[in-house]
Structure 1
Amino acid sequence: MSTYLPDRNTLPALAKKALPASRKARLAPVGYAMGLFAVGTALLIAKPRFGQVPSPIQNGDAPRIGRWRRAAQHGRDGVQAFAPSNVTDSVGRSLILGGVALLAARALDEMSGRTGK
């Protein structure tokens, strides 16, 4: 099974045949961006319980006798600063950033014009 890839000579011909996008197709990414932003904001505000992460401290903070256990406890405490307490907060922030980036890309695409001029 072979895959046809256009070369440099056929790309300009393909660009001339391309039809301008309809208004609905040009505005669809704006709807997606707004949806991402809305869902991300809802997750940040609601903070659902299913996203709650239990504390990594299961055995307490008493000093450990073994060297490896003390090293593991120290590493756990260091990594805990970067771990989210609610996973849905992280997902919500990512959705908001993705929505804003998509909206910015679409706005810049519209400002650049249909023919790139």
Structure 2
Amino acid sequence: MSIKLPGRTNLPTLSNKALPASRDRLMPVAYAGGLLAVGAALLIAKPRFGHVPPPNRMGDGPRRSRLRRAAQRGRDGVQAFAPTNVTDSLGRSLILGGVALLLARVLDEVAGRDGQ
């Protein structure tokens, strides 16, 4: 069984026509669907490599120095905004991006072509 590779004499000819409009119009929708799927998979799976340990690993006991007490209070205040799983944040961002892309594409279709 032999495989015939294209040579100089049997190369396919490429036409100069543009891609069909339907393919060009559907690619953003497919891309948005991919973003939504990957984002949802990250939110559901919660992979272990994205887990972030809590920042109070040195303990919560009172500190003697004013600077260290201020740093401890600051750490506890900022901890509320820190994610516990980084992949959750990535998943939410991908979902928001996918929804925004899909919504922009739908509104673009509703707006129609120029002059119509």
Residue identity in the other structure for 1:76 = R
Provide the aligned C-alpha RMSD in A: 1.6
Q: CA deviation at 1:115?
A: 1.8
Residue of structure 1 in register with 2:99 after alignment: 100
2:69 paired with 1:70: yes
Q: List gaps (5 residues or longer) in structure 2.
A: 1-17
- Relative to its length, the structure with more helix (as a share) is 1
Q: What TM-score does the superposition give when structure 2 sets the normalisation length?
A: 0.81
Q: CA deviation at 1:114?
A: 1.7
Residue of structure 2 in register with 1:58 after alignment: 57
Q: List gaps (5 residues or longer) in structure 1.
A: 1-18
Once residues 38 and 58 of structure 2 are traced to their aligned partners in structure 1, the CA distance between those partners, rounded to angstroms, is 36
Q: Which structure would you say has the larger Rg?
A: 2
Of all paired residues, the percent bearing the same amino acid is 70
Residue of structure 2 in register with 1:35 after alignment: 34
Residue identity in the other structure for 2:49 = F
Residue identity in the other structure for 1:62 = G
Give the 3 Å change call, closer, same or farther, for CA 82–34 of structure 1 in structure 2: same
Give the 3 Å change call, closer, same or farther, for CA 48–20 of structure 1 in structure 2: closer
Misfit runs of 4+, over 2 Å: none
Once residues 44 and 116 of structure 1 are traced to their aligned partners in structure 2, the CA distance between those partners, rounded to angstroms, is 43
User: Alpha-carbon deviations, 1:46-105, whole Å to 9, x = none?
Assistant: 000010001101111000000000000000000000000000000000000000000000
Give the 3 Å change call, closer, same or farther, for CA 116–31 of structure 1 in structure 2: farther
Residues matched between the structures, number: 99
Residue of structure 2 in register with 1:9 after alignment: none
Give the 3 Å change call, closer, same or farther, for CA 71–23 of structure 1 in structure 2: same
